[in-house]
């Protein structure tokens, strides 16, 4: 099979030939149809992600495909079944072996592109807004990086949960995508004072921040009393420094959300969330936004779209037409 490998950190990915792996007793093997790219793939390629595997490894965190073989201890899956898996790695290959307990069966209504773009982006936003921040209908949600892979889903899910959504992104095209996802108010981070703009709209009850840096600082200062700030990631490259005494003035809460981390200590949080999200997709209430779907030989171009912030929503690599 063909697969991309990281053989040294901060070096271009290499497309190589390797044997098709056999599944371990608790694994399923997939013939991979599509793989969703994530900002974490860029960090992993540089050795900067919290779950970077030992070298060499095949990147690609979330995949969709057909079950090709099952391990001896696996029940509930069979060859030919359509599934999606958050494997954490191994997705940028024609075949891959993944833990069976991370796989979810796909409805016939969900195509490969949607399935590959679905789990991390929607799962992160749903767990963050529902399980962590307990967003309540009628509250004001400020979404930073609102046109990115997770940002657009936060806009969409925030509206489904009844929030008034303020979307912050850079440029007219990205704001248009956020508006189409349901945002009530738009802020262009290119030339607008985010703090002043949010305060003019009454302030934020919940902040969803995959950006960090100066945008976190501006959002922090635009919070209402008892607001909750979700730190999702640091696409700006700058991790915010929080003065604890400033939390006291407005009784603010800052909380982290690493979606994949729940696999280690409360996997049922992710399982229950994905069940709800797949049902919403079946009902037509959510629709993944894939701005770029590229063939298998254009993985580096796909990663460059993320690196240069030229994508809106998700970038998907289509590996096989199954």
| Residues 241-285 pLDDT 10s | 998 999 999 999 999 999 989 988 998 899 889 989 999 999 999
The pLDDT score that the predictor gives to residue 129 is 98
Domain tally, the chain: 2
Length of the chain: 322
The pLDDT score that the predictor gives to residue 312 is 87
Distances, alpha carbon 212 to alpha carbons 102, 168, 221, 234, in Å: 29, 13, 13, 5
Q: 255 and 128 in one domain?
A: yes
Residue 237 main-chain phi, psi, to 5 deg:
85, 0
In a domain, 267, yes or no: no
Integer Cα distance of 103 and 30 in angstroms = 10
Mean pLDDT of 187-194: 96
The pLDDT score that the predictor gives to residue 51 is 86
Structure tokens at 101: 């307990």
- Name the more confident of 79 and 272: 79
| Cβ-contact 106, 64 below 8 angstroms | yes
Integer Cα distance of 251 and 233 in angstroms = 23
SS (H, E, C) the chain: CEEEEECCCCCCCEEEECCCCCCCCCEEEEEEEEEEECHHHHHHHCCCCCCCCCCCECCCCEEEEEEEEECCCCCCCCCCCEEEEECCCCCCECEEEEEHHHEEECCCCCCHHHHHHHHHHHHHHHHHHHHHCCCCCCCEEEEECCCCCCHHHHHHHHHHCCCEEEEEECCHHHHHHHHHCCCCEEEECCCCCHHHHHHHCCCEEEEEECCCHHHHHHHHCCEEEEEEEEECCCCCCCCCCCCHHHHHHHCCEEEECCHHHHHHHCHHHHHHHHHHHHHHHHCCCCCCCEEEEEEHHHHHHHHHHHHCCCCCCEEEEECCCC
pLDDT, tens digit (0-9, with 9 covering 90-100), for 5-17? 999 997 888 899 9
Q: Is the pLDDT of residue 85 over 90?
A: yes
In a domain, 19, yes or no: yes
Q: 125 and 98 in one domain?
A: no
Angle in degrees, CA 194, 199, 204, rounded to 5: 90
Q: 124 and 95 in one domain?
A: no
Q: Range of 158's domain? A: 120-260
The pLDDT score that the predictor gives to residue 122 is 96
Per the rule left: phi > 0, alpha: psi between -120 and 50, beta: everything else, 259 is alpha
pLDDT band at 313 (very low <50, low <70, confident <90, very high): confident
pLDDT, tens digit (0-9, with 9 covering 90-100), for 34-72? 999 999 999 999 999 888 999 999 999 999 999 999 999
Integer Cα distance of 85 and 99 in angstroms = 8
Mean pLDDT of 194-208: 98
The pLDDT score that the predictor gives to residue 305 is 95
Mean pLDDT for the chain?
95
Q: Is the pLDDT of residue 309 over 90?
A: no
pLDDT band at 226 (very low <50, low <70, confident <90, very high): very high
- The residues that bridge with 3 in the sheet, in sequence order, are 16, 93
Q: 197 and 79 in one domain?
A: no
Q: 138 and 243 in one domain?
A: yes
The pLDDT score that the predictor gives to residue 53 is 92
Q: Is the pLDDT of residue 198 over 90?
A: yes
Q: 169 and 235 in one domain?
A: yes
Structure tokens at 137: 């209908």
Structure tokens at 240: 């915010």
The pLDDT score that the predictor gives to residue 14 is 85
pLDDT, tens digit (0-9, with 9 covering 90-100), for 94-145? 999 999 999 999 999 999 999 999 999 999 999 999 999 999 999 999 999 9
CATH assignment at residue 255: 3.90.180.10
Q: 16 and 95 in one domain?
A: yes
Q: 82 and 162 in one domain?
A: no
Q: Is the pLDDT of residue 183 over 90?
A: yes
Mean pLDDT of 276-296: 94
Integer Cα distance of 26 and 118 in angstroms = 24
The pLDDT score that the predictor gives to residue 124 is 97
Q: Is the pLDDT of residue 303 over 90?
A: yes
Q: 187 and 152 in one domain?
A: yes
In a domain, 274, yes or no: no
């Amino acid at each position: 099979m063909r697969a991309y490998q990281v053989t040294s950190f901060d070096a271009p990915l290499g497309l190589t030939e390797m044997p098709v792996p056999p599944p371990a007793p608790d694994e399923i093997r997939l013939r991979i149809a599509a793989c969703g790219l994530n900002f974490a793939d860029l960090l992993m390629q540089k050795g900067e992600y919290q779950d970077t595997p030992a070298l060499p490894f095949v990147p690609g965190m979330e995949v969709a495909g057909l079950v090709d073989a099952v391990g001896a201890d696996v029940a509930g899956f069979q060859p030919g079944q359509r599934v999606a898996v958050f494997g954490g790695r191994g997705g940028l290959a024609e075949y891959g072996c993944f833990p069976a307990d991370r796989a979810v069966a796909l409805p016939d209504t969900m195509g490969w592109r949607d399935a590959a773009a679905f789990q991390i982006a929607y799962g992160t936003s749903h767990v963050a807004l529902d399980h962590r921040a307990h967003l309540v209908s009628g509250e004001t949600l400020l979404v930073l990086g609102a046109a990115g892979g997770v940002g657009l889903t936060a806009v969409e899910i925030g509206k489904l949960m009844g929030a008034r959504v303020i979307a912050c992104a850079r440029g007219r095209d990205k704001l248009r995508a956020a508006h189409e996802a349901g945002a009530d108010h738009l802020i262009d981070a290119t030339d607008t004072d985010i703090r002043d703009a949010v305060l003019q709209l009454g302030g934020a009850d919940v902040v969803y921040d995959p950006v960090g840096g100066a945008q976190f600082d501006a959002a922090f200062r635009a919070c209402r009393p008892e607001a909750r700030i979700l730190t999702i990631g640091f696409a700006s490259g700058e991790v915010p420094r929080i003065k604890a005494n400033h939390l006291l003035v407005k009784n603010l809460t800052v909380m982290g959300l690493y979606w994949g981390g729940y696999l280690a200590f409360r996997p049922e949080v992710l399982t229950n969330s994905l069940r709800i999200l797949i049902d919403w997709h079946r009902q037509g209430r959510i629709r993944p936004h894939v701005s770029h779907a590229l063939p298998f030989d254009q993985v580096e171009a796909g990663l460059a779209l993320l690196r240069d912030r030229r994508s809106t929503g998700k970038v998907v690599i289509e590996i096989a037409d199954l």
